[in-house]
Amino acid sequence: MSLTFIFSGCLDDDGYSLSDMWVGFGILQETDDDPAEYRIIMDDDDEVLIPVASNYGSYHYADNSHFKDGDRVLVNFTVLDDNGSDDEEPTEYFVKINSIRKILMKGILDITEENEDSIGNDPVIVNDVWMTDSLLNFKIKYWGYNETHFINLVKQPGELTSDDQPIELELRHNSNDDEESIPYSAYVSFKLSALEIAGLDSVQFKVTYTDYDGDESDYDGVYHYGGND
């Protein structure tokens, strides 16, 4: 499994160690609503986690909010068993959920006169950026105190054409005039489906963002959507 391994231990032919933990991102998928049951489709090669034990009450996050179908999550888990055999590699892992955190997932907004102020133009630090299938993911840092901050990925309005490539996007932050007292970090994922152009199977894009020193940085990417659902 191409996930982050955080505790020492090893996998062997006799099974998995209960002292081993992995961390990865995925999407919750509801498999039954009475009672609610979920599996987690991981970013890494579409491997599937099937929770059979948890450190939390049934189907709750640590903050006691409920799971919802389609939620994006960062999950820490221990593998208990899998569906592999001598002839086939496993595709499903039966796991204990050690911790699970909901990750903000949003679409791309068009900048308009009505939302320009609420989108904001405050600085933000990007510690990491990467793509997984149809999502663009950021690990960000910002300064605040006690106000709710907003983060958005935005573009100019209008129908996109192939001549618009690379499509210009901005990562925008609204601090709501919060005090810059405490450093916060967060993950956020953006759906790239709004960038799809009819007749193409991929598009080029460029994201710009500005940090607290006023320095502008950018990320160039290609979104391949041909054959995606």
Along the 229 residues of the chain, how does pLDDT read in single tens digits? 345 544 434 444 446 888 889 999 999 998 876 666 889 999 976 689 999 988 765 556 656 667 889 999 999 999 999 888 878 888 899 999 998 999 999 999 999 989 988 999 999 999 999 999 899 999 999 999 999 999 999 999 999 999 999 999 999 999 999 999 999 999 999 999 999 999 999 999 999 999 999 999 999 999 999 754 4
Task: Give the span between the Cα atoms of 5 and 3, in whole angstroms.
Answer: 6
Task: Give the span between the Cα atoms of 15 and 89, in whole angstroms.
Answer: 14
Q: For tokens 């009672």, what's the residue?
A: 35
Taken in order of first residue, the domains within the chain and their CATH numbers are 4-102 (2.40.50.500), 107-224 (2.60.40.2370)
pTM for this one? 0.88
- Confidence at residue 11, expressed as pLDDT on a 0 to 100 scale: 43
* Measured distance between the N- and C-terminal CA atoms of the chain, rounded to whole angstroms: 24
